Amino acid sequence: MEKVVEKISLSKCKSVLEKDGSKYSNEEVLEIREFLYKMADLDYEVFLKQKIRDKEFEESKQKPEDEDLKQAA
C-alpha cells in the first residue's frame, strides 16, 4: 500500500527552482519534484535501517560475555 503524501505545490516548487533566474516547464518541475521525493524516501529508509542497526549493536554490547560464548559453541 502506497503512502499518501501531501506534496509541495507545483507553483511553490517552480518559484523555488526559478529563484536564480532559471526557467522550467511545468513538466520539468513535476519531474524534479518526483525525483526529490524519491530521494527523500530513500534517505528516510536508510535512516530507519541505520537506527535499527545501531539499536541492535547497542543491545549486543550489553549481553554478558558468557552468553556470547554459549552461542559460539
12-59 pLDDT, tens digit each: 999 999 999 999 999 999 999 999 999 999 999 999 999 999 998 888
Task: Parse the chain into domains and list their residue ranges.
Answer: 10-72
pLDDT of 69 > 70? The answer is no
According to the model, what pLDDT value does residue 5 have?
78
According to the model, what pLDDT value does residue 4 have?
80
Can you give the pTM of this predicted structure?
A: 0.69
Three-state secondary structure readout of the chain? CCCCCCCCCHHHHHHHHCCCCCCCCHHHHHHHHHHHHHHHHHHHHHHHHHHHHHHHHHHHHCCCHHHHHHHHC
Beta carbons of 29 and 8 less than 8 angstroms apart: no
